[in-house]
Amino acid sequence: MAERVQQPPAKRLCCRPGYSTTCRQGQRSGGTVCGGSGSGQGGSSKTQSPESLLDIAARKVAEKWPFQRVEERFERIPEPVQRRIVYWSFPRSEREICMYSSFNTGGEESASGGESGDETRLPFRRGIALLESGCVDNVLQVGFHLSGTVTEPATPSEPEMVCSVAISFDRCKITSVTCGCGNKDIFYCAHVVALSLYRVRRPEQVKLHLPISETLFQMNRDQLQKFVQYLITVHHTEVLPTAQKLADEILSQNSEINQVHGAPDPTAGASVDDENCWHLDEEQVQEQVKLFLSQGGYHGSGKQLNLLFSKVREMLKMRDSNGARMLTLITEQFMADPRLALWRQQGTTMTDKYRQLWDELGALWMCIVLNPHCKPEQKAAWLRQLKKWNSVDVCPLEDGNHGNELPNLTNALPQGAHGNQDSGARPHRTVFTRAIEACDLHWQDSHLQHIINDDLYTNYCYHDNTENSLFDSRGWPLWHEHVPTACARVDALRSHGYPREALRLAIAIVNTLRRQQQKQLELFRNHKKDLLHKGVTSITNLEGWVGHPLDPIGTLFSTLMETGRGDEDGSHGGFLDFSAGSMSSSKHSEMHLFPSTRRFLEEGESYLALAVETALMGLGQQRIMPDGLYAQEKVCRNEEHLIAKLQEVDLDDTLVKIFRKQAVFLLEGGPYSGLGELIYRESVPMHTFAKYLFTCLLPHDAELAYKIALRAMRLPVLESTAPSGDMSRPHHIVSVVPNRYPRWFTLSHIESQQCELASTMLTAAKGDARRLETVLESIQKNIHSSSHIFKLAQDAFKIATLMDSLPDITLLKVSLELGLQVMRMTLSTLNWRRREMVRWLVTCATEVGVYALDSIMQSWFTLFTPTEATSIVATTVMSNSTIVRLHLDCHQQENLASSARTLALQCAMKDPQNCALSALTLCEKDHIAFETAYQIVLDAATTGMSYTQLFTIARYMEHRGYPMRAYKLATLAMAHLNLSYNQDTHPAINDVLWACALSHSLGKNELAAIIPLVVKSVKCATVLSDILRRCTLTTPGMVALHSRRNSGKLMSLDKAPLRQLLDATIGAYINTTHSRLTHISPRHYSEFIEFLSKARETFLMAHDGHIQFTQFIDNLKQIYKGKKKLMMLVRERFG
């Protein structure tokens, strides 16, 4: 509260022309305490005497009439009467004071809405603490003005502070507050609370005076002069300039002050024109909302804004006009949020939490314009304001898409075959559109008035059984209106403090829905054969009730549940009289259970049961999936929220009957039900709802539970071929032709819910082979995501192999079957979990038994890639752990090994590059199979295999003791290799060195055969020189190259094959040198000199090497003489 130290200006001018000066001289000045003679507030006494007629009349006048009207109505008001009116004009309830000093509703509630969660920090709680600790003093009431001081005790960090508090009030409402503490907040500070509660709780201790103007009228001229002079003396530093200015103006005949009759009095109460409302600091509301919005959802700002919205609802419920004022201020700040323009410009969407705040804003405006009390001029003003906001370019759209997506389907669209019209022709509906439309609604319908005002409103002689009849066959009233609109009326009644009337209308709406559901069922049964034959995929409403912006089902459910629990606050109960615009009071005690309203419930039915049935009807309604990410997320969120509320209800026999009844309706409801036999391709799926129904019905009616769950498993939006819409409309069944590929932004969530439903059924069906088979068929038919099927397979495996029981072989087979389906689905697609899936499948098959392992190996080509089949499947099957796990005998081991070898050879034939080595490994123990695998490698070596693969297999062969075969493969690998002059770090170099070492170890012939291949494939001088050096160290065929030198005859460099290698090496050095000199930079000169030094070592290995190297250097000097610095370095090193 922006509490100001200065006093507010007086609201009106006061004078008493009917009184003479003489009659006041000698009358006593002063006051009496509030609880003096005639007080009707003997709050401290246990026994109270009856109120006097004066007090009763004064209280009523104080509540309804501004004091100016009282003065104008009567020529002279006796002082005792004035005192009682002034006394009763102060608020008597602490509830409103609490509402304006905390986020909480009522003083006894917890402080969960507080900023820190510490209730002692709330102004209302702190005010009570100050009052109870005796910190309020000098309390004085002068007319309609209360003042006093509140002492804030010292703390370790703050000294004691005395705050001067002043409060103005009118007709039992605080209209102005000021406090010297300087606090700035939306709500009253603790000092204002303490003074207010002092007056409420201890009226007998407050000294009461008439308005100051009345006291001044009692003074003669001398007394008035003395009064003014003393006042100036006491406060001369503060008021002397003002006093002199006023004196000058009064003494001036033509001054403005002398043109006005009377003088202002801040204590004289309200004028006739003053609005009667509680004090609300509008500036602080705006500042706080602006601050919260600027924080962008951080620091709990979203929570604070939601608390402000709750405060608006609290004010509406108390029928406080500040509710609309406060919401207007909040909305203005929301509309001024600079992020709106930025998001629109960038084409990005607002955050989900911020979007929900806008939804609440729109819903609150809907409640306000549907206020049954509001005057036409007030509604017209709201309509103008809403249209103004609605026309702003950045005003958020109802479906939250900024116009980038197709707008939501609403009841504003044509309800016919052309309902799915082009998006360009659809009106853009903002968050305020529904409130604007609601301004056209009224409450004057006589049938509606009877429903909400009369517990006994029936017509047992009514026999109109048409679709829109006013009563059902029992004579109970029905209310036919667009369901979200009708429920918005219920929400408005609840919001404005009419729980009883809201309940009556809610019951009429639910009874109407139940009757419509019954008639829809009968209609479908009559047309069932024809509709099913045509394959009609129809929906009855383009606008679903769950996920709707007005949340109709949530409203009905909350209304009925709160009544059933006795939660509704009855402090403002009463019947509505819309024609007169007034209310007649009803007893508080009647408001919790409303027993007479029960006449419109079935025998033995409760509000709780009706609420549950309403939720089931709404959740089961077939409805189209709305367009846009936010609208689709809202459908999921609202559905889950409603189901969470239902899960809090304990099921008894009555509720189980309702579940059974609704389950049958949903299964047989045709196009009206989301669980009907045929649904529109883009209907909202029922997986989440069906899972809840399945869980609830399973202990009581397993057959029905499975029927519901299995029916709900479908997801037609993912089917490649779905039935087309039928344009015929039997009895207003609306058909929609799909004209675009649907954009389901929440599809991943929907598929996960479908998976959860299937998992729930698998768990429940454990031990029941027939049920498991049915569930498996449903999964295979309806689930299209490999990751979700894999999850189900894993779930089934876990359930089947629980530690505390024997494995369930049927469920294990289901798990395996699902795993096989996953393998087939992901065989030709990329999936990052593929290796995990393959390993898991082998584990699952192992648990099932040896025949399962044999089966997957026999049909490997439909399940695995050749690499997976050899490196994972066959290898795992042949491992010792598998043999031990399955307790296999020798015969079974041999059968498995035979299957594995067959698989390996097939894979090697299909993909020798990746499977040959695995095939050789798997076939080691079978000579024929091993030879076959080796031949496959040889056949593939000349065409499809790379040198890397061939070298790897060659090394394997050497390791297994087949050096000649290793040599053969090495020569084949060399034919594929090509190392250029600058590839001196190529990974194949080690393989080349190994191949040469192998050839050298086998003998001169083998070495002679491989050297031409080396010369042809390797152009890198350093690699060739390394090979040459190694070949000269030992005798071929004697020992490995890395052993010590022996006494055998070394190979001559002047003869083949080493002469060929030496020439090739020298040539490589010459070519490399010229290549390097083409693009050499000075920083590489020293490196180049070292390279030439290595080249010289190789040149000198030839008998005429010295001469060749000298000629080589001379050529370099001549050709590259322009590189003077480099040539100088060459001369320094090599002459």
Tokens read off for 441: 């609604």
* pLDDT of 401: 58
**Calpha distance 788→811 (Å, rounded):** 17
Confidence of residue 562 (pLDDT cuts 50, 70, 90): confident
**Calpha distance 241→243 (Å, rounded):** 5
Instruction: Indicate whether 711 pLDDT > 90.
Output: yes
* pLDDT of 1: 42
What's the pTM? 0.78
Tokens read off for 792: 């189900």
- Pairing type for strands 136-142 and 207-209 reads parallel
* C-alpha torsion sign, points 915, 921, 922, 924: positive
DSSP 1062-1088: HHHHHHHHHHHHHHHHHS--GGGHHHH
Q: C-alpha angle 685/688/691, rounded to 5°? A: 120
Tokens read off for 354: 């911020």
Residues 6 or more apart whose Cβ sits within 8 Å of residue 563: 499, 503, 593, 594, 607
Do residues 437 and 369 lie in contact, with contact meaning Cβ atoms separated by under 8 Å?
Answer: no
* C-alpha torsion sign, points 366, 368, 369, 370: positive
Mean pLDDT of the chain: 82
Confidence of residue 970 (pLDDT cuts 50, 70, 90): very high
**Calpha distance 799→793 (Å, rounded):** 10
What burial class does residue 318 get, using C-beta atoms within 10 Å of its C-beta: 0-12 exposed, 13-18 middle, 19+ buried?
buried
DSSP 867-917: HHIIIIIIHHHTSHHHHHHHT--HHHHHHHHHHHHHHHHHHHHH-HHHHHH
Distance of CA 318 to the CA centre of its chain: 32
Do residues 19 and 217 lie in contact, with contact meaning Cβ atoms separated by under 8 Å?
Answer: yes
Residue identified by tokens 């009803």 is 586
Do residues 317 and 497 lie in contact, with contact meaning Cβ atoms separated by under 8 Å?
Answer: yes
Model confidence pLDDT, tens digit, residues 112-135: 333 444 455 688 888 898 888 888
* pLDDT of 771: 96
* pLDDT of 226: 86
Distance of CA 665 to the CA centre of its chain: 32
* pLDDT of 630: 86
Model confidence pLDDT, tens digit, residues 42-99: 344 456 678 888 888 777 877 787 777 777 777 777 878 878 888 888 888 888 888 8
Reported as type and span, the H/E element at residue 173 is strand 173-179
Tokens read off for 599: 């006449």
Confidence of residue 913 (pLDDT cuts 50, 70, 90): very high
CA end-to-end span of the chain: 98
Give residue 594's region: left, alpha or beta (phi > 0; psi -120 to 50): left
**Calpha distance 443→374 (Å, rounded):** 11
What burial class does residue 286 get, using C-beta atoms within 10 Å of its C-beta: 0-12 exposed, 13-18 middle, 19+ buried?
middle
Do residues 1001 and 1041 lie in contact, with contact meaning Cβ atoms separated by under 8 Å?
Answer: yes
The average pLDDT across 415-431 equals: 51
Tokens read off for 1091: 């390279």
Rg (CA), the chain: 47
Count of C-beta atoms within a 10 Å radius of residue 799: 20
More confidently predicted of 563 and 410? 563
Q: Can you name the residues that pair with 148 across neighbouring β-strands?
A: 165
DSSP 183-251: ---SSPPHHHHHHHHHHHH-GGGSEEE--HHHHHHT--HHHHHHHHHHHHHHTHHHHHHHHHHHHHHHH
Least confident of 552-566, 849-863, 944-958: 552-566
Distance (Å) of CA 8 to CA 214, 256, 266:
19, 21, 7
Interhelix angle 747-764/702-712, nearest 10 degrees: 150
Model confidence pLDDT, tens digit, residues 620-639: 999 999 888 888 999 999 99
The average pLDDT across 460-469 equals: 73
Model confidence pLDDT, tens digit, residues 652-678: 999 999 999 999 999 998 788 999 888
* pLDDT of 70: 76
Residue 179: closest CA among 194, 168, 169, 189: 189
* pLDDT of 208: 83
Confidence of residue 733 (pLDDT cuts 50, 70, 90): very low
**Calpha distance 422→497 (Å, rounded):** 43
For residues 462-490, one letter each, b for 16 or more C-beta atoms within 10 angstroms of the residue's C-beta and e for the rest, the string is beeeeeebebbeeebbbbbbebbbbbbbb
550: helix, strand or coil: coil
Phi, psi (rounded to 5 degrees) for 872: -115, -60
Model confidence pLDDT, tens digit, residues 238-284: 788 888 888 888 888 888 888 777 777 777 777 777 777 887 888 88
178: helix, strand or coil: strand
Instruction: Indicate whether 192 pLDDT > 60.
Output: yes
What burial class does residue 140 get, using C-beta atoms within 10 Å of its C-beta: 0-12 exposed, 13-18 middle, 19+ buried?
middle
Least confident of 66-70, 155-159, 772-776, 935-939: 66-70
11: helix, strand or coil: coil
